[in-house]
């Protein structure tokens, strides 16, 4: 098969990009003022499209707004509505049940085990099929001499527009240096200088270089490390794959007491009883909010939010999603896939069809994305692809010009390969990009020890809400899954021995169905969704 790469009209635009390079070598576009940032967000960020969201009519967040796709699921019927289950027949009994086999779930399992708990991880797909695996650019931690957790704290709060839960941010930045040491001790191979010190670079919104990376597959390296470690304790940690939780179980004392699983192969249901239950189900990018393509793994359908909502857990910041500024816009086959922020961290600039800069390359993600959307949709300065999709250039060759030949190949091997498969050489030519749905900024409200308002229920990672406020900074999600995964595991490990479970019940599901009926909600939606429905939406 002959791979075509860029078309002649795209090549004409690339010539203008090349021509503007000398002038851009030492001059970056200025950052926007705080007032300009607010203005551009209000006008162009997808969170502000009024018809994309609606008010919830039932549940703890009644009256609050969330994207239509998530609202439909939160207001859906239980998958158990027409299933007869014998809750006296316990299929699996454990101290700590962890729902989700990504970074947060795996980190939680390791810590709970350290405290002597028997742990069961259940996961919808395979262990490690998770957004953790797909994060590329790095993990933040203030562990260099010119940096401090306080500095990190200020960046996180500024990036979140001062809306973050301060106690959660404190937990995040305080634990960060220890998390890096912990991961290294488990065998995680971060990039290092010849003298053995860790390489750190900038991300959007960071005032210090504190991004630790493993080339551009940092998440895969962290996930590999955590999964290997979990798998080395089979006597304490059991992993069941292809068996998503579809409803939480409670007991007659009002505690969360496990979950009902669905075996995706046999369609059997399993009753799992647990003294502590940790939701670590990740995000919901596969709901394709506002019609956006996404960077997420196939199972990212917000299942944990739905289950937690039904037992009365409050959600925080679920009216804000993260659109990563640089999703692939060409070729068609990979539209929406992540082009890591590390590309901009290494000095690549963002340019319009005329080869002009129009935004500082390391604004926070929400602002950077809004500026790209404005450039394409309002100013008409996008680069058109043969299928009619439009994007802007991310000038990757600038990296070798700034840091020396071979840097792109060395620092971004996954990116080089992702595009080379389709005849695009990002060492020589820029990358066409457009914002893509990347992250669920909010989720189930937690405390710093990962507990929720519902006894027995803990949450960690992307399924939780509060730490990032209205916008997360790059590298704080890999950090979040490790920090709060560990904290959730520790809390569960410290608590499970004190828990006396009562009789298992699904009375909350019956109450939920009554609430739907009382609110006059007529819907055919059953949730959690489990897998994206591409036949219905044609994506």
Nearer to ligand MEZ among residue 448 and residue 475 (C-beta): 475
Is 314 considered catalytic here?
no
Query: What x/- string results for residues 295 through 334 when contact with ligand MEZ is judged by CB under 6 A?
Result: ----------------------------------------
List binders of ligand MEZ among 474-503 (CB under 6 A): 474-475, 477
CB of 461 to ligand MEZ, least distance (A): 12
CB of 338 to ligand MEZ, least distance (A): 6
Q: Pick the piece of the chain touching ligand MEZ (CB under 6 A) from 164-172, 340-348, 426-434, 489-497.
A: 340-348
CB of 92 to ligand MEZ, least distance (A): 34
Residues near 87 by beta carbon (within 8 Å), at least 6 away in sequence: 249, 271, 503, 504, 505, 506
- How are beta strands 53-55 and 65-67 bridged, if at all? antiparallel
Alpha-carbon distance of 97 to 92, in angstroms, equals 10
* C-alpha dist (Å) from residue 66 to 73, 321, 435: 11, 10, 20
Nearer to ligand MEZ among residue 14 and residue 338 (C-beta): 338
Nearest Cα to Cα of residue 383 among 340, 457, 441, 330: 330
Residues near 432 by beta carbon (within 8 Å), at least 6 away in sequence: 6, 10, 328, 329, 330, 383, 385, 391, 392, 393, 394
Contact 361, 344 (CB under 8 A): yes
Nearer to ligand MEZ among residue 210 and residue 342 (C-beta): 342
Q: Select which of 45, 286, 288, 324 is catalytic.
A: 324
Instruction: Classify residue 47 by its DSSP letter.
Output: G
Is the bond preceding 173 in cis, omega lying within 30 degrees of 0?
no
Nearer to ligand MEZ among residue 140 and residue 277 (C-beta): 140
| 3 state SS for 392-446 | EEECCHHHHHHHCCCHHHHHCHHHHHHHHCCCCCCCCCCEEEEEEEEEECCEEEC
Q: Which of 341, 368, 395, 462 binds ligand MEZ (CB under 6 A)?
A: 341
Kindly state the tokens that stand for 143: 């562990």
Is 324 considered catalytic here?
yes
Alpha-carbon distance of 257 to 252, in angstroms, equals 10
- 179 touching ligand MEZ, by CB under 6 A: no
CB of 405 to ligand MEZ, least distance (A): 23
In which element (H, E) is residue 307 found? helix 303-310
Neighbour tally for 374: CB within 10 Å? 17
Q: What are phi and psi of 477, to 5 degrees?
A: -90, -40
CB of 100 to ligand MEZ, least distance (A): 18
Q: Pick the piece of the chain touching ligand MEZ (CB under 6 A) from 165-173, 256-264, 339-347, 516-524.
A: 339-347
- How are beta strands 245-251 and 211-212 bridged, if at all? unpaired
List binders of ligand MEZ among 448-477 (CB under 6 A): 474-475, 477
Q: How many residues bind ligand MEZ (CB under 6 A)?
A: 11
Q: Which of 66, 340, 418, 451 binds ligand MEZ (CB under 6 A)?
A: 340
Q: What is the CA radius of gyration of the chain?
A: 23
CB of 211 to ligand MEZ, least distance (A): 8
List binders of ligand MEZ among 84-143 (CB under 6 A): 135-138
Helix (H), strand (E) counts: the chain: 17, 23
Rounded to 5°, angle at Cα 484 from 479 and 487 = 135
Point out the residue whose Cβ comes nearest to ligand MEZ: 137
Neighbour tally for 375: CB within 10 Å? 23
Q: Select which of 344, 362, 468, 472 is catalytic.
A: 344
Nearer to ligand MEZ among residue 115 and residue 217 (C-beta): 217
Burial letters 452-481, b for 16+ CB under 10 A, else e: bebbbbbbbbbbbbbbbbbbbbbbbbbbbb
CB of 32 to ligand MEZ, least distance (A): 20
CB of 329 to ligand MEZ, least distance (A): 15
CB of 300 to ligand MEZ, least distance (A): 13
Binding site for ligand MEZ (CB under 6 A): 135-138, 338, 340-342, 474-475, 477
Q: Mind telling me the catalytic residues?
A: 324, 344
């Amino acid at each position: 098969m002959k791979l075509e790469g860029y078309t002649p009209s795209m090549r004409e635009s690339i010539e203008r990009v090349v021509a503007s390079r000398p002038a851009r070598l030492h001059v970056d576009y200025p950052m926007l003022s705080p007032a300009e940032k607010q203005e551009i967000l209000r006008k162009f960020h997808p969170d502000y499209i009024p018809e994309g969201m609606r008010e919830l009519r039932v549940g703890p967040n009644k009256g609050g707004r969330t994207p239509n796709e998530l609202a439909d699921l939160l207001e859906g019927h239980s998958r158990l509505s027409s299933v007869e289950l014998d809750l006296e027949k316990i299929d699996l009994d454990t101290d700590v049940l962890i729902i989700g086999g990504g970074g947060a779930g795996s980190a939680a399992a390791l810590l709970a085990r350290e405290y002597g708990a028997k742990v069961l991880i259940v996961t919808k797909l395979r262990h490690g099929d998770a957004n953790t695996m797909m994060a590329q650019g790095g993990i933040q931690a203030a562990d260099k001499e010119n940096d401090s957790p306080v500095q990190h704290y200020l960046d996180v709060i500024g990036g979140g527009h001062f809306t973050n839960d301060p106690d959660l941010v404190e937990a995040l930045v305080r634990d960060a240096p220890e998390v890096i040491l912990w991961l290294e001790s488990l065998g995680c191979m971060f990039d290092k200088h010849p003298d053995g010190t860790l390489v750190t670079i900038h991300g959007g919104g960071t005032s210090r270089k504190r991004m630790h990376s493993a080339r551009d597959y940092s998440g895969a390296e962290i996930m590999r490390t955590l999964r290997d470690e979990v798998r080395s304790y089979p006597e304490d940690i059991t992993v069941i794959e292809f068996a998503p939780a579809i409803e939480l179980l409670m007991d007659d004392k009002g505690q969360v007491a496990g979950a009902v699983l669905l075996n995706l192969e046999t369609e059997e249901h399993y009753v799992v009883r647990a003294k502590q239950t940790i939701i670590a189900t990740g995000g919901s990018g596969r709901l394709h909010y506002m019609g956006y393509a996404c960077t997420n793994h196939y199972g990212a359908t917000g299942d944990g939010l739905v289950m937690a909502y039904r037992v009365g857990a409050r959600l925080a910041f679920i009216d804000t999603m993260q659109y990563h500024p640089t999703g692939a816009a060409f070729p068609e086959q990979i539209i929406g896939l992540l082009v890591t922020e590390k590309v901009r961290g290494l000095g690549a600039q963002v340019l319009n069809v005329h080869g002009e800069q129009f935004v500082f390359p390391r604004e926070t993600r929400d602002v950077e994305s809004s500026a790209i959307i404005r450039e394409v949709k309002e100013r008409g300065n996008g680069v058109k692809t043969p299928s009619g999709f439009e994007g802007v250039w991310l000038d990757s060759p600038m990296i070798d010009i700034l840091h020396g030949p071979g840097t792109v190949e060395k620092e971004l091997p996954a990116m080089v390969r992702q595009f080379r498969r389709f005849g695009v050489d990002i060492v020589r030519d820029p990358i066409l990009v457009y914002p893509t749905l990347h992250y669920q900024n909010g989720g189930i409200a937690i405390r710093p020890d990962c507990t929720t308002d519902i006894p027995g229920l803990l949450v960690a990672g992307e399924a939780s809400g509060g730490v990032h406020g209205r916008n997360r900074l790059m590298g704080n999600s890999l950090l979040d899954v490790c920090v709060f995964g560990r904290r959730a595991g520790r809390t569960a490990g410290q608590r499970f021995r004190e828990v006396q479970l009562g009789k298992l019940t699904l009375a909350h599901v019956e109450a939920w169905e009554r609430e739907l009926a009382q609110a006059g909600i007529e819907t055919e939606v059953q949730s959690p969704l489990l897998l994206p429905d591409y036949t219905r939406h044609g994506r």
